[in-house]
């Protein structure tokens, strides 16, 4: 069971609302706008190569 906070009394703004009000509500965040599946394979390959190079020292 979850509480419905939409009808809670008092101010409806929080600490982070000042920064959030500058951006449209439906605008994706930076984290959501990155195609992580396109970045992951080359990043993992480079990380594995770096680990192998450091291990060979």
pLDDT at 20: 54
Between 34 and 9, the higher pLDDT residue? 34
Residue 14 CA to residue 9 CA, distance in Å, equals 13
| Residue 16 CB contacts under 8 Å (≥ 6 apart), including other chains | none
Tokens of 34: 């990155």
pLDDT band of 11, cuts 50, 70, 90: low
Query: SS3 of 12, please?
Result: coil
Q: Does the structure show a pLDDT above 60 at 52?
A: yes
pLDDT band of 36, cuts 50, 70, 90: confident
Query: Which sequence spans correspond to the domains of the chain?
Result: 32-57
Residue 38 CA to residue 5 CA, distance in Å, equals 38
């Amino acid at each position: 069971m979850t509480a419905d906070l939409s009808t809670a009394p008092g101010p409806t703004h929080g600490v982070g609302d000042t920064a959030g009000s500058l951006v449209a509500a439906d605008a994706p965040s930076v984290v959501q706008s990155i195609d992580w599946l396109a970045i992951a394979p080359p990043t993992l390959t480079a990380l594995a190569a770096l680990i192998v190079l450091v291990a060979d020292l």
